[in-house]
Structures are given as structure tokens and as C-alpha cells.
């Protein structure tokens, strides 16, 4: 299954795990700050300014506050499922980092089926949301969970199909091979439609505006995590922001040439591209109003999936002719 030439040592695994955990936490802290700043500047205000330089450690203060909060478990929840949901939402997020190529040799485990690993574990997030919503015994949570499941089923299909057309061009499911296939030009140039479709689907997959129906605060309080407090809530939050990083990392690997770039080291180029995509997704959030549920589903089944199929068939056709 694994494609690594040399066996992975215990020390390497521990170092990789520590690196992933540090990356996940620092990334979430940075992204929350970045989101608040982006939102603020689009609304002509400065955003957090008080804690640290331009409010840069405001998120750490907020995290400390969340750590100190009481973990409230409502009386009528389905206890085991309720307690398991924050863990189930967080674990697949960690696994996905195993196969992301940060640089040409900075990849914890290069698998032949890296794409499938990430996408299948990303699907577990839906399970966790369903668990959280159902076990909370709260109508808003259940409604949020129902929306999340319907949305993710609808948007996973075009997501996979658009990625398939890139996989056809690269001829491999391995993320490192896909980056290697873009040594001449980035796939965003040959697959612009797939890139646009992927970004739309990724926004929906991470439950972000304009597709943030599962946690629509103006309709459903906080959606599926209404009943979660303290660090349990923080885990959902952490998972959401880490998912943003992962979908942006996939976009970078598939369409923007991964870690490739002149002058700077690979990891720097990779992070620049990832955060550029994340900025794009934040830009969506502060521009577009939330879609209605029927619009959301109609958009997926009537527009995204046909376009993705047309793109896939055309790609296959052109590749066969060449």
C-alpha cells in the first residue's frame, strides 16, 4: 500500500505526528485571526487590535478562555455519541495531513491512493456532524445535521469528478506524482473549469458561507454544535479551520503546482498558495449571502454535477486523442 522507499522509523513517525499537531493548532490560531482581519477590513474596520501586535495573539487568549470553561452536558443527550462526536470530527483531520506533500521531500507518507485517503476521511466529518446533531437532542442541532448530510452528499460527487479529471491528466492518485506532473505548467491553466468547480465544492464541503447552512447562526442558533461548550466546541471549530487548510492544500496540489515555485523553498511556496486559496474562500464568505436550501441542492445537481461530468468526459476524450 505504501510507496515509501525506506521504512518509516518510529522517530520519524513521532516527529511527523508532533509536526502535524503543531501545524494544526498554529494554523487554526492564525486562520481565526486572519478571518477576523479579512472580515474587518472588508467592512472598513480594523478588527482585533488589543492583544499583541494588531491583535495577533487574540486567538490564544480566546483559546485559554475556552479551556477554562465548564463542559456542560445537557440532561437528555445521547451521552456516548454526544461525547464521541468532537473526537470523531477531529481525528480524520489529522489523518489527512499524512499524505499532503508540503515540499519535495517533506511528506510524511507518500501513498499511491493519497487522494482517496483524504477524501474518504473527509467524509467522516459528515458522520461526526450527524452524530453531534442527533445526539444533542435539540431541534436546531438535528436540522443542522440534516442539512449538512444532504449538502455533503450533493457536493462530494462534483468534488470527486472534478478531481478525477486532474487525476486523468496526471495518471496517478498519489499527491506527490500529481505535483510532479505539473513541472511544465499548472493544471489550473488546462483545467480552469475544474478549478472553479472544485473551489465551489470545497467551500460547500467545509460548510462555509455562502453554503454555511448547517451552522446558519441566523436560523439555527449554531446548527449542529449548539449544545457543545468549552473545549468540545473548540474541537469543532479547530476541525472546521483545519478542513479549510486541507481543501486548500488539495487545491494547491491539484491545480497550482503544489510546492513548485522559483527562488523560495518549496514549503514557503506551498503555504503561500494554500493561504491564497484560503483568502479566496474567506473573500467568498464576506461577499455572498447564504443560499436557500433548495437553491443549494439545485445548484449542485443541476449545474455542478453536469458541468463536472462534461469536463471529465472532455478531458478523457482529449487525452485519448493525443
Catalog residues that contact another protein under the rule CB under 8 A: 38, 40-46, 49, 283-284, 286-288, 303, 307
Of 286, 274, 304, 282, the C-alpha closest to 151 is 304
- Closer of 84 and 291 to another protein (Cβ): 291
CB of 204 to another protein, least distance (A): 14
**C-alpha torsion sign, points 315, 318, 320, 322:** negative
Of 73, 74, 82, 51, the C-alpha closest to 64 is 51
CB of 54 to another protein, least distance (A): 11
**Locus of grid cell 468547480:** 197
What is the DSSP code (8-state) at residue 211? Answer: S
- Closer of 143 and 204 to another protein (Cβ): 204
- Closer of 170 and 197 to another protein (Cβ): 197
- Closer of 283 and 317 to another protein (Cβ): 283
With beta carbons less than 8 A apart as the criterion, state whether 108 and 170 touch.
no
> How many whole angstroms separate alpha carbon 132 and alpha carbon 125?
10
- Three-state DSSP class for 236? helix
- Closer of 45 and 75 to another protein (Cβ): 45
- Closer of 173 and 284 to another protein (Cβ): 284
**Locus of grid cell 469543532:** 236
CB of 286 to another protein, least distance (A): 6
**Locus of grid cell 489527512:** 96
- Closer of 212 and 227 to another protein (Cβ): 212
Of 243, 247, 153, the C-alpha closest to 198 is 247
CB of 280 to another protein, least distance (A): 9
Rg (CA), the chain: 20
> How many whole angstroms separate alpha carbon 97 and alpha carbon 109?
9
Q: How many helices, marked H, and strands, marked E, lie in the chain?
A: 13, 0
Of 124, 33, 100, 103, the C-alpha closest to 247 is 100
- Closer of 40 and 106 to another protein (Cβ): 40
Compute the C-alpha angle 173/175/179, nearest 5°.
115
CB of 41 to another protein, least distance (A): 5
CB of 44 to another protein, least distance (A): 5
CB of 272 to another protein, least distance (A): 18
Of 270, 116, 98, the C-alpha closest to 182 is 270
CB of 56 to another protein, least distance (A): 16
Amino acid at each position: 500500500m505504501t510507496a515509501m522507499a525506506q521504512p518509516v522509523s518510529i522517530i520519524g513517525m513521532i516527529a511527523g505526528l508532533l509536526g502535524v499537531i503543531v501545524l494544526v493548532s498554529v494554523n487554526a490560531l492564525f486562520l481565526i485571526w486572519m478571518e477576523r482581519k479579512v472580515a474587518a477590513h472588508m467592512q472598513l474596520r480594523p478588527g482585533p487590535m488589543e492583544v499583541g501586535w494588531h491583535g495577533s495573539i487574540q486567538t490564544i487568549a480566546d483559546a485559554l478562555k475556552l479551556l477554562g470553561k465548564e463542559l456542560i452536558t445537557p440532561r437528555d443527550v445521547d451521552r456516548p455519541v454526544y461525547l464521541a462526536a468532537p473526537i470523531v470530527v477531529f481525528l480524520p483531520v489529522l489523518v489527512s495531513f499524512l499524505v499532503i506533500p508540503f515540499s519535495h521531500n517533506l511528506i510524511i507518507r507518500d501513498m499511491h491512493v493519497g487522494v482517496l485517503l483524504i477524501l474518504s476521511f473527509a467524509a467522516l466529518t459528515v458522520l461526526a456532524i450527524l452524530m453531534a446533531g442527533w445526539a444533542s437532542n435539540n431541534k436546531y442541532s438535528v436540522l443542522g445535521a440534516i442539512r449538512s448530510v444532504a449538502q455533503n452528499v450533493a457536493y462530494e460527487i462534483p468534488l470527486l469528478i472534478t478531481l478525477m479529471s486532474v487525476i486523468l491528466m496526471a495518471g496517478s492518485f498519489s499527491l506527490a506524482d500529481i505535483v510532479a506532473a505539473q513541472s511544465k505548467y499548472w493544471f489550473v491553466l488546462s483545467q480552469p473549469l475544474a478549478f472553479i468547480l472544485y473551489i465551489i465544492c470545497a467551500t460547500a464541503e467545509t460548510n462555509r458561507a455562502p453554503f454555511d447552512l448547517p451552522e446558519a447562526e441566523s436560523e439555527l442558533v449554531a446548527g449542529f454544535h449548539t449544545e457543545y461548550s468549552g473545549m468540545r466546541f473548540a474541537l469543532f471549530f479547530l476541525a472546521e479551520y483545519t478542513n479549510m487548510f486541507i481543501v486548500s492544500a488539495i487545491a494547491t496540489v491539484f491545480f497550482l503546482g503544489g510546492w513548485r515555485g522559483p527562488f523560495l523553498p518549496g514549503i514557503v511556496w506551498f503555504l503561500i498558495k494554500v493561504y491564497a486559496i484560503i483568502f479566496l474562500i474567506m473573500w467568498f464568505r464576506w461577499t455572498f449571502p447564504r443560499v436557500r436550501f433548495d437553491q443549494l441542492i439545485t445548484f449542485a445537481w443541476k449545474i455542478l454535477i453536469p458541468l463536472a461530468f462534461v469536463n471529465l468526459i472532455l478531458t478523457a476524450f482529449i487525452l485519448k486523442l493525443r
